[in-house]
Amino acid sequence: MGNGRDGGGYPTPRRPSSSLDPSEERETSATLSSYDSDSNDMALEALGRGSQGLGFLPTTYESLDHVETTGSLKSRKTWPDRSITDFLVGMFLHEINQIYEIIHPPSFQSRYDAWCKSQETDDHSGGAASEDDIDFGVLVLRVCLLSIQNLPHPKYPTIGVLNTHLDHLEHWFCTLADDLGNFQALEKKPSILTIQHRFYHVCYLQNYAKIRPSWSVLSAAVKGARELGLHLKDPGVPISELDMELRRRTFWSLYVWDRYMCTFFGLWPLIPEGYFDIDPPHDNLQALAITPYALTPFTDRVFHIRLARYLTAFMSPPSWKDDQHTAAVVAEFAQRFQEVIIDQLPPAYWLDNPDTTWDIADSAIPRKREYLHLSIYSTKASLYRAFADPCNHLHRETNTLPKHGTDLLTLSHRRALMDATCKAISSITKLYALTGDEEGGAAERLFMLPIWLVDALACLGVCLLSVQADERRLAEKGLQISPDQGLRSSFATFFDAFALLCQQAPQYGLAKRGMKVLESLHSTLHSSPSRKMLLNADDGETVTLGAFSIGQTGGTSFQLEHALVSLHSRGGEGSHGRNSTPLPEWLPSFLETPGRSWLFQDGAVFGNLLA
């Protein structure tokens, strides 16, 4: 199932393997002017108004040429048969909405049923389509497209329902959604539906690594949210608590996505701090438990919001980057992170020994838990990211300016970085299992998971390179260290995770690119003289310090620490020959950028995604 899409007998490789080729980007879904058309004459055609109502199509296509030769004008007069949208909407509500939770499934289902009935019975008496009708139609299409991205899926067999090639179906839905969005006038005041369908469009584009188009659509969504007053605590008109909660969820989902893109891609935020006063979501819908703690399908998203706000306080503003290189400041932020995030987790989402009894009440919790854990560990790793090379040996070998000194605290930060990164990799591995081909070709495999994995592998690998550089310098001074179990575990984790990336590479383009980017790092670590010893040596009795330790009979952790600090403080690096071990060409970019944006700012890595 994972090697092709089951579209009623039209097997084909999944598109992600070619998702990095700009020449193959679909114009209809990647356009930067999705909201710049003023062709209002297409409004009635788009929804097939008049005596015929919506033009519901049969469930079969003659061929791909049927879509390509009839062109967009024909597509404006057609709408999918309801059996198709029923299938895709149902899949979204049961399998995919759990990732976003910005719509209320019972309310959405009720409105969808009424909307479809209205179109089928031509309830508008030949009048013009209302703006809300059109917006809801686009929302339905965007929801369906997110479902299509997750097909094939064993729980949702398509034979007999979607009797057409899934690529054809996706092209059809993209064209229709873009056409409906394009005809709406620029002066039209957006509704909550407008913001929601634009948000889903962002997610759809992001899954295909269409970074710039997704940023453009997110910008349009944020602009619409401001016009709608979605950032305000008081909407200015009486609305129900349900509608107010959906406003809160929608705004904060935009906020999280905005901060995510700033962190990963080095972009400036679209939603500036201090210019909104809307409360965070109250998390009071569809409660699974209310005592002794609240637990709803949205609870995990509340913590994603807290993580985004925390990242903003520490990571985002470029003028604050110096703090990321100050060990004492990082330690303070780490303590605060423990208090405001980790200590507040409900039992179902605990990092250690979570209460899995709630998995029965909501089958989505295991997947949500791993995503939340991944976000927590990755955020925690971000705190320590600048200390991957605490003794600055790699900085010197790459002619990169060091930005911090070396002491016990900086060494402990490397240990914390490696620990958090290994745990993040563990969560990624579990998510690959939860979204595996045997469970369906989840869209997360197209972009999110490979990007997280490549970043984690790079971070862990650089830490291991720095440890080896430290070992070489200490050996030159006659001090032999004995690596601890944590370091051995980190090496094993790196090689296992790289094997996972290689396993994904044949099917997924970003995984393939990431594998090539990390090949030199993998080769260097794999050929290391200490690798065999690290993975097979007898542990013995050791005292842990930072990422490594020294045997009890050979000295103390205090002696080792002073040896490292002394080596750095004497400034005798010039007397040593340059390390002959080949280093990754992207290493200077990694060392110069404490955040993750180096992945997309270095042309040798994923830089073309922002081009």
What pLDDT score does 356 carry? 92
| pLDDT, position 186 | 64
pLDDT of res. 65: 39
Largest CA distance in the chain: 91
Residue pair 429/499 in contact by the 8 Å Cβ criterion:
no
pLDDT given for residue 290 in this prediction: 57
CB 481 within 8 A of CB 425: no
CA angle 206, 207, 209 (to 5 degrees): 60
For 323-351, b/e burial (b = at least 16 CB within 10 A) is: bbbbbeebbebbeebeeebeeebbebbee
d(CA 158, CA 147): 12
Query: What pLDDT score does 365 carry?
Result: 92
Closest CA to 80 of 5, 147, 174, 173: 173
- Low-confidence residues in the chain, pLDDT < 50: 1-76, 124-125, 438-440, 537-560, 574-575, 577
Digit-coded pLDDT (tens) for 524-536: 999 876 676 666 6
Q: Are 481 and 548 contacting, i.e. CB atoms less than 8 angstroms apart?
A: yes
Please write the tens of the pLDDT for every residue from 395-438: 999 999 888 888 889 988 998 999 999 999 999 999 999 887 54
**3-state secondary structure at position 72:** helix
Q: What pLDDT shows up at residue 139? A: 97
Q: Map tokens 């939770």 to a residue.
A: 101
Is the preceding omega at residue 152 within 30 degrees of 0, hence cis? Answer: yes
d(CA 409, CA 390): 9
How much is the pTM? Answer: 0.83
**CB-based contact 304:281 (threshold 8 Å):** no
DSSP-derived secondary structure for 304-358: HHHHHHHHHHHTS-GGGGGGGG-HHHHHHHHHHHHHHTGGG--GGG-SSS--TTH
What's residue 123's pLDDT? 52
Of the chain, the end-to-end C-alpha distance in Å amounts to 33
